[in-house]
Chains A and B, each alone.
Chain A
Amino acid sequence: MFMSDLQLDSASRAERSVAVSVRGVTMDFGSGSPAVKDASFDVETGSFLTILGPSGSGKTTLLRMIAGFQKPTQGTITIAGKPVDADPPNRRSIGMVFQKLALFPHMTAAENVAFPLKMRRTNPAEISGKVEKFLNLVKLDGYAERRPHELSGGQQQRVAIARALVFEPELLLLDEPLAALDRKLREEMQLEFRRIQKELGVTTINVTHDQREALVVSDDIIVMDQGLIQQHDRPVGLYRAPNNLFVASFIGVSTFIDGTLTADGLKVGDLLLPGSATPEATLGAPARGAVRAEQLRIGAGPEALAGCEIEMDGKVEDVIFEGERLIYVVGCERAPDIKFQIYHHDPHSFDIFEIGSPVRIGWHGKDMKIFNHDA
């Protein structure tokens, strides 16, 4: 059922217009391997795309090229149907929220928001109307006269986003603006960004290293590593069907099992573990299986593991308390090198296993993804 959803989506996708088109874009700073290698993708009009990757993956460079702060060594970027390769940033109709926000400290919140309109020589009456409207949109009515240093971190974020949107750009770029906020505020602002984006329907490209943020806010996610696009998919697709080992390990918590790929599954020593191999995985080659922490089952005896094709005896080696859940770290005699990480979400039975308790763990064969792995 889920797959058919995706197919329906992609069918209707073709009819939608493309706001940003990136074709064969490469950025080579001339030191070592290129920062971005041959990146190509489209962003649908009105959608929210997140470029997700660790630091040094090239995600910020890619964003800076779209913004026009850096010129790609190769490739073409098209915004709203118009190639922008020759345009400087101020001619690209792009609103950008910077990592450190870059609010103008000598201007009030309202003046900050008015700035892009003033630069476009909008008449004063129109400026004040729009500033009021956008301060209202970001829920900052009553803060117009405050200077940035008189605002809280979240309020400064709101000023920055109003300033980036007030001139109704074709494209909104977010350069990890939430990275410096504490977790609670960050999660609140993620939802705010999404609400504002949906309300205005502005095409948005967000850059982050926070997988949770990417999953929460995005319509589409591009995962990058070492300058290469690893996968471009909807959040659910990305989570359920990672393309490769990098995507599988970067998103979610998984236990990895090394072995050799056979027709019946992953062979680890004298164990044969069933699983679903990616198309790229070759038979007989070294492979690595990944099972997500929420797909592993744990119980005192076999009855808790109904339907699991794979079962093993083990011993709890560590219990990590994370508030809303526990992570059991389990070691098994039959697979001595592997530390299984298993989520336990039931708050009524948090204390059933202690360190050293004998347990039985298991999983469904289809839940283990098997990838090529050059050991």
Chain B
Amino acid sequence: MNNPTVDRTRFRYPLRWRVMDSLEEGASLIWPRSLSRHTGWLLLAPALLLVGILVLGLVQIAESSLHTLDTSTYLPSENYTGENYLTIVESATYLRILWRSLLGAALTVVFTLLLAFPYAYILVRTSSALVRKGLLVILFLPFFIGQVVRAYGWLIILGNSGAVNEVLGLVGVEPIRLLFNYPAVIFGLVQYMLPFAVLLLAPALTAIPQEIETAAGSLGANWLQSLWYVVLPMAKPGLIGAGLVVATLSLTDFAMPAMLGGGSQDFIANAIYDQFFRTANQGLGSALALVLVAIGSLIVGLVFMIFGAGTLGMGAKK
């Protein structure tokens, strides 16, 4: 009424559509319609390129892992040898580091999932928009703080004169060494992985209709039975996906063992770093790196073999 020139009954071509039209026109100049059969490959190309470069790098690392360090010249040996791998297998230190990394990854997965599941469940199921928003903000907040900064923060909080010991001191407890031990590393890892796990679990829980849980209740299940017999099995794709991501990230983590372990709790990544940048033994470092890649691939492969790639909720729903 106040603007007589605007005819409200007329169809107005949305601006968004106009933008899409010009984009399409531009795209058809670069990529003619006759090539549209191959569009899928075009879209995959950048990803394939990146993975390809990674594979090239791996080949180079594999090559250098077959040369030992000549201690007289500090150059890699000319001849090919498997000695670096022998060194790893025969060294109690490296086996201990391997075991520590694997156990650390396993413990981190268990604790992270235990903590992430209820968080994700409440996030998905709460009827209060305020609670959901609050949980989301708390979830994303740590993402703005880098891993190293966060580890440093824990150094301050858990240190001998840190906040935790200060509070303990108030109730008469002598300062406890909370840092530079295995539990501190696991603690740091769990704290770091929690948001990832929640983000991966939430869609899996959203996919479980509320009505299914209502049905379980009406059929006589209490909340624990409903969780055990219905929710957990149905959340399996999310649990496996989250577990896999947390496991691989923890297994290869560097900052937490380095900072919260204080050099006494090295993971494989720390050992690799030492070989490359401290002792300059490229060959041994490369061999360790390849061992790590192999172990990681083995774990992922095993999980896919046991549960099938489909359990991650990808591909056609079967």
Q: Is A81 an interface residue (CB 8 A)?
A: no
Q: Are B211 and A89 in contact (CB under 8 A)?
A: no
The residues in B between 3 and 62 inclusive whose CB is less than 8 angstroms from any CB of A are none
Q: How many A-B residue pairs lie within 8 Å, measured between CB atoms?
A: 60
A89 to B209, CA, bound (A): 18
Q: Are A100 and B220 in contact (CB under 8 A)?
A: no
Q: Is A328 an interface residue (CB 8 A)?
A: no
Q: How far apart are B223's CB and chain A's nearest CB, in angstroms? A: 10
Between A106, A118, A119, A120, the greatest number of chain B beta carbons within 10 A of the residue's beta carbon is seen for A119
Q: Are A96 and B215 in contact (CB under 8 A)?
A: yes
CB-CB < 8 A to A102: which residues of B? 209, 211-212, 214-215
Q: Is B139 an interface residue (CB 8 A)?
A: no
Interface of A is mostly: mixed
Residue of A nearest to B219 (CB): A116
Q: Are B214 and A119 in contact (CB under 8 A)?
A: no
Q: Is B146 an interface residue (CB 8 A)?
A: no
Residue of A nearest to B220 (CB): A119
CB-CB < 8 A to B220: which residues of A? 90, 116, 119-120, 167
A89 to B211, CA, bound (A): 13
- Give the contacting residue for B218; candidates A94, A99, A104; CB below 8 A: A94
A100 to B215, CA, bound (A): 10
- Give the contacting residue for B214; candidates A69, A106, A120; CB below 8 A: A69
Cβ proximity bits B233-268 to A, threshold 8 Å, 1 near / 0 not = 110100000000000000000000000000000000
Q: What number of B residues sit within 8 Å (CB to CB) of A?
A: 20
Interface of B is mostly: helix
Q: Are B214 and A104 in contact (CB under 8 A)?
A: no
Q: Are B230 and A104 in contact (CB under 8 A)?
A: yes
Q: How far apart are B316's CB and chain A's nearest CB, in angstroms? A: 11
Q: Is B217 an interface residue (CB 8 A)?
A: yes
Q: How far apart are B31's CB and chain A's nearest CB, in angstroms? A: 39
Q: Are A119 and B225 in contact (CB under 8 A)?
A: yes
Q: How far apart are B215's CB and chain A's nearest CB, in angstroms? A: 4
Given A98-B214, A106-B233, decide whether A119 and B209 contact each other with a Cβ distance below 8 A: no
Cβ proximity bits A90-112 to B, threshold 8 Å, 1 near / 0 not = 10001110111010111000000
Given A104-B230, A105-B234, decide whether A119 and B211 contact each other with a Cβ distance below 8 A: no
CB-CB < 8 A to A67: which residues of B? 218
Q: Are A100 and B234 in contact (CB under 8 A)?
A: no
A112 to B75, CA, bound (A): 67
Q: Is A239 an interface residue (CB 8 A)?
A: no
A89 to B234, CA, bound (A): 22
Q: How far apart are A26's CB and chain B's nearest CB, in angstroms? A: 22
Q: Is B309 an interface residue (CB 8 A)?
A: no
Q: Is A88 an interface residue (CB 8 A)?
A: yes
Q: Is B229 an interface residue (CB 8 A)?
A: yes
Residue of A nearest to B211 (CB): A102
Residue of A nearest to B212 (CB): A102
Q: Is A353 an interface residue (CB 8 A)?
A: no
Q: Is B221 an interface residue (CB 8 A)?
A: yes
Q: Is B222 an interface residue (CB 8 A)?
A: yes
Q: Are A89 and B233 in contact (CB under 8 A)?
A: no
A96 to B215, CA, bound (A): 8
Q: Is A115 an interface residue (CB 8 A)?
A: yes
Q: Is A163 an interface residue (CB 8 A)?
A: yes
A67 to B214, CA, bound (A): 11
Q: Could you write out 9 A-B pairs with CB less than 8 Å apart?
A: A89-B214, A90-B220, A95-B218, A96-B215, A99-B211, A102-B209, A102-B212, A104-B229, A118-B229
Query: Beyond A102-B215, A104-B229, A115-B219: 16 further Cβ-contacts under 8 Å?
Result: A67-B218, A69-B214, A89-B217, A90-B222, A94-B218, A99-B211, A102-B212, A102-B214, A104-B215, A119-B220, A119-B221, A119-B229, A120-B220, A149-B317, A163-B219, A164-B219
By a beta-carbon cutoff of 8 Å, the part of chain B in contact with chain A is 209, 211-212, 214-222, 225, 229-230, 233-234, 236, 317-318
Closest 10 CB pairs of A and B: A102-B215, A119-B220, A116-B219, A102-B211, A89-B218, A106-B233, A96-B218, A119-B221, A102-B212, A90-B220
